[in-house]
Structure 1
Amino acid sequence: MTTIYVDADACPVKAEVERVATRLDIPVVLVCNGGIRPPTNPLISLRIVPGGPDVADQWIAAQCGSGDVVITGDIPLADRCVKAGAHVLQHDGQELNAANIGPRLATRDLMQDIRAADPFHQGGGRPFSKADRSQFLQSLDRVARLAMQGK
């Protein structure tokens, strides 16, 4: 059975996940360190993990598997979930898979090294847009249907 796992701390698309999950009748697990109101939708459960670095990531990686969908912006978590056979989506709807996770990890590590070497080069991503939200909805619908079919 397909489950959608959401790395819920600072996730901007929880409402969109609920919409798609309700339409497709897929259970969702929101995983966080706390601070999220318990959902009223019976398909959605809240898993609060102890505080600490990467505790939520470790829990998600240990639970997900083939046929599941993981929503995260964390590239190392995405890598672990892809290796476990899960479908992985970022908040902007980009799918991470075996073909593209390696270069994404390398870029992340390079940027981390650049920021560490030059504290004034902090960068920063572009703002989350309505187009990102729309792309996420379309991608989640497509990926969830594939996961439900075992593809």
Structure 2
Amino acid sequence: MDQTDTETTLPVRLLVDADACPVREECVRVALRHGVKVTFVSNSFFRIEADPLVEREIVPGNFDAADDRIVEHVTPRSVVVTADILLAERCLKADASAVLGPNGKPFTHDSIGMAVATRSIMADLRAGGAQVGGPAPFAKADRSRFLSALDVAIVRLKRQG
């Protein structure tokens, strides 16, 4: 069996950077509808739905421990949900099939470089004392866009085998 055959026999899996994630319930809803395992990884406890397809991993340790654990789980049949640009970059490098922000915006190999650069510039501006705005408040349209993007990503993976 070659690598492509191995990749298509792996299960589709949804990995969620759960600390401060505003779309946890939506992730569960989509995962259960498609029969896909969803793993929420965080540094702290939170309540989740009790279902064999829903898993919570609480990762003790440093700030990046949850990110490291998510990257360990990534396969070519993983969809990752995170607002963390640096984690998104790591997941893309680890060959995740799709990486989505909670607003439904995909992180891609083509867009991640600009996102990392913008993040770095904003961090430098803040460190220099500049008053720069953060992301826009999470809106109902973001939730809807996320649900659609997640559904499309999972359906695409399921169709691949």
TM-score, normalised with respect to structure 2: 0.88
> Is residue 52 of structure 1 aligned with residue 59 of structure 2?
no
- Which structure has the larger Rg over C-alpha atoms? 2
Which of the numbers 29, 32, 36 marks the counterpart of 2:42?
Answer: 32
Alignment of 1:13 onto 2:16: no
1:23 aligns with 2:33: yes
CA distance in 2, matches of 1:99, 1:55: 27
Q: Equivalent residue for 2:3?
A: none
Q: What is the match of residue 112 of structure 1?
A: 123
Q: Deviations over 1:84-107 (max 9, x none)?
A: 111100000001111111111110
The superposition leaves residues 99-128 of structure 1 with CA deviations (integer Å, 9 ceiling, x where unpaired) of 11111111011101111011x514222110
**2:142 paired residue among 125, 132, 137:** 132
Inter-partner Cα distance in structure 2 for 1:28 and 1:73: 17
Q: Deviations over 1:31-56 (max 9, x none)?
A: 01122124312210011100421110
Listed as ranges, the gaps of 5+ residues in structure 1 are none
Which one-letter code corresponds to 1:91 in the other structure? P
* Stretches (4+) displaced over 4 A: none
> 1:22 deviation in Å?
0.8
What letter matches 1:30 in structure 2? F
SS of match in other structure, 2:22: coil
Identity of aligned residues (%): 43
TM-score by length of 1: 0.94
Contact 2:45/2:58 (CA < 8 Å) preserved in 1? no
Amino acid across the alignment from 1:148: K
Q: In the alignment, is the contact (CA less than 8 A) between 1:89 and 1:95 conserved in 2?
A: yes
Alignment of 1:96 onto 2:107: yes
For the Cα contact (< 8 Å) 1:39–1:46, is it kept in 2? no
Letter in 1 for 2:54: I
Count of aligned positions: 150
